[in-house]
Each structure stands twice: as C-alpha cells, then as structure tokens.
Amino acid sequence: MRVVETSAGNRLMQDVIGLEERYGAHNYAPLPVVLTHGRGACLFDEEGRRYIDMMSAYSAASFGHLHPRLVAALKRQLDRVDLVSRAFHTDGLGPFCEDLAGLTGLDACLPMNTGAEAVETAIKAARRYGYDRLSIPHDKAEIIVAAGNFHGRTTTIIGFSSDAATRRGFGPFAPGFVMVPFGDTGALEAAVGPCTAAVLIEPIQGEAGIVLPPPGYLSAVRRLCDRHGILLILDEIQSGFGRTGRTFAFEHEDAKPDGIILGKALGGGLLPVSAFVARRALMDVFDPGSHGSTFGGNPLAMAVAREAMRVLREEKLPERSARLGTILLDALRAIDHPAIRAVRGKGLWAGVDLDPALINAKDVCMKMLEGGVLTKETHATTIRFAPPLVIAEDDLLAAVRVFREALDDCSLSSPSSSVARLSYAK
C-alpha cells in the first residue's frame, strides 16, 4: 500500500503491515488498517480513529470488546490458578458443564478450544455412536453435510467443503461424508442410507453469506433424523449465543439437536473456548483416553465462559439482538440501489448480495473502512453485517448509512480507486 500521509501513525501502520507481510503467512488479505484497542462495539487505530465493528470477529466478540464483566472474571481467575492438566479435577469445569448443559437443554459437555476442534469432536462422537449404537459396519460410517458449509479448516473438515479455494492442494481427504444441497429436505432424505450416522449442518450458513434455509427446514430435518434413528448435530459456532435473536438458532423452530457445536462467543472475545454439548447417550461414547485437549476446560477458559453465559442472560442479549436485528434489516432493505440483489438475515446477522457486474464488494468494504465502519466481503459478492450484540442503535444506523454512501461512491468510481485522506464515522 502506498504511503499517502506522513504522520507518525501512518508510518507505524506501514511498518506493522510490512512486518506482517514479510514474516507472516499470507493466509489472509486484511484491509489496510492497524487496530490497537477497542471498547464495546468500536475499535480504534494507532491514531485514535474510531471504527464501528460490523464483524465481531465472526461472532467471537458478540459481547463487545473488553466487556468489563468478562475482563473482571478473567482477572479474578488469574489471581487463583491458570492451567492444570485434565489429569486432575478443578473447581470450574463441573459448574461450567452444568451451566452450558442447562443453557442448551442437553445433558453433557466436552470443552475444547477452537471451533474446528469442537467440530472434530462431534465427528468422532457421531462415528463411534454409529458403530456402537447403530451397528454400522466398521469404518463405513457416513455423515451427511450441506453444500456451502463452513465448519473449520482442518484437513478432515475442508474435505467435505464445497469451496474449492479451501481444498486446493491439501488432499487426500478423509472419506465418510455425503454432501446435499442446503435447505433441500428431499435431497437429504434420499442421501440417508444404511451407513448414515448423523446429519451435520449449520442452522444458518454464516461464511456462505448468512444463508437462511426455507422456513420449517430445521424442524423437518429433526423429524427426518428421528424417523431414521440417526443423529442431528448442529454447528452453532457463529449462530449461537444470541446472534440470531434467540439464544440458539435452532430455537426458532422445533429442532433441538442431539449434539450442538459451540465456540467463538463462548470465550467472550477474550479466550478461545469451544465445546461439544450432547445427549448423554451420545457423549458416553467417549471413555478415558479416547479424546482430550491440554487446554480444553482450563480454569481461565471456564471462568470467562461461565461469566459470558451470565452476561448473555442478565443483559438480555438475545432479546436485544432480535430488536436491533429488525432495525438493521429494515434499514438495509430500505436502500434503493441497483447493485443490491438480495438482503437476508436474522437477528444482528445480515448479508447483502451485490451484483458483481455493477460493483466490486471489496471496494465497498474499502469505502466503508474510509467511512469508519469495519466489515469484510465473503465469496466476493456478499457484505456481512454482524456487530457486537451490545452495539448502540445510533451506531448501527450510522454503519448502514456509511454502507449506502459506499455503494454510491463505488458505483461512480473505477474499481480499486483510493483516496489520500480518510474520513471516519463519529
């Protein structure tokens, strides 16, 4: 990026970006901003410029940045103990499992760290359940997944992705996954066979562009799984903890799963915390030595995650997401612009599809950055809106205004145009 200002802060930005480019892996394409601190729904760069966060770290920062209750819980635990092996009991793990089981309405928890680890845990549980309980022949278990899915980036998980960019050069991939179109119950029914152990889907596909299934789809999948005696496992890593206007997205329909995969917001934006939560019969496929994690269930993570669950309930964040989500979607749908092909979402989670023949989605994100709003396109055509659930209504509407202005600016300018001096939302 060309240096267009000579301030010390701008030079610092160039130095930091340069170091990342030289010594870091090029597995992301970040926007040209260096963020140094944050509070609530806002982030700030090295010169103190304020940005409205419309990404929430893919829902990991759903409670906002440095929520005081979560920071306090972390500090209290740091005065006691940090990490011990799961070879011993600690005073936080049992209460955490009780709280999370109660929140989900399921029976037992297995804490991990990253979302991908929790997905891998669910896959192991489903396969062993298939062999032990469904009499599936050894090494023949199949799990039905949906096209457009995003469950993580381990080699097993990308093996059942339909996104070629995530797969190129990383095979061979593990067998045992059957892909069907998302939202198509007929195709799902046809895919069920004698070796099917589970259906693993996101209730709303986040990375695909906030793609919602048809109404009634989740409850139909639940009935289908019951009819065939197979498991329903839902990945709510992004959609959980109030993002869609309910505590979990499955609550919008009668679709309680046999297992649920959680992460991101569970760590309160402070630590990586994930979990697989399931019915007791499913969780009991694990025995000592069959699965584990050095950091999974550590005391720091348990303290923060328990407080995150309390904040979720006591600050009524799902209800807030539902109310502000209606405002967000109404404001987005009120934009009259020829480049907008579709607006969809639920709660504080929306995707706006743009016509690539009329506008470049990355350019729109750059213009929004210049206007003081942070977000990122997905699949080159969809702009995501997923702010922290604590965002103020004024900031939410300000972000939509910046988006509308960015559409106008990018429609009138050439692709990849830039300006020398940036203006920021106040």
* Domains and their CATH numbers in the chain: 8-60+317-412 (3.90.1150.10), 68-314 (3.40.640.10)
Sign of the Cα pseudo-torsion (7, 13, 18, 19, in order) = positive
Average pLDDT, the chain: 94
User: How far apart (Å, rounded) are the C-alpha atoms in residues 65 and 89?
Assistant: 31
Per-residue pLDDT for 159 more than 70?
A: yes
Q: Are strands 142-146 and 177-180 parallel, antiparallel or unpaired?
A: parallel
Decide if 304 contacts 70 (C-beta within 8 A): yes
The whole-number pLDDT of residue 8 equals: 61
Per-residue pLDDT for 32 more than 60?
A: yes
Tokens 């929520």 -> residue: 67
Average pLDDT over residues 363-368: 98
Average pLDDT over residues 287-304: 97
The whole-number pLDDT of residue 413 equals: 55
Residue positions annotated with a catalytic role: 150, 235, 264
Closest of 319, 332, 275 to residue 298, by C-alpha: 275
User: How far apart (Å, rounded) are the C-alpha atoms in residues 79 and 224?
Assistant: 50
Token reading at 16: 């930091």
110 residue type, one letter = L
Torsion of CA 378, 385, 46, 422, to 10 degrees: 90
User: How far apart (Å, rounded) are the C-alpha atoms in residues 322 and 392?
Assistant: 14
The whole-number pLDDT of residue 9 equals: 62
Torsion of CA 128, 131, 133, 134, to 10 degrees: 130
The whole-number pLDDT of residue 412 equals: 64
User: How far apart (Å, rounded) are the C-alpha atoms in residues 272 and 304?
Assistant: 10
Tokens 């306090």 -> residue: 72
Tokens 């030289």 -> residue: 22
Q: Are strands 382-385 and 350-354 parallel, antiparallel or unpaired?
A: antiparallel
Token reading at 33: 């901003």
Q: Angle at Cα 411 formed by Cα 408 and Cα 416, nearest 5°?
A: 115
Decide if 385 contacts 375 (C-beta within 8 A): yes
Nearest 5°: phi and psi at 250? -65, -20
Average pLDDT over residues 396-407: 98
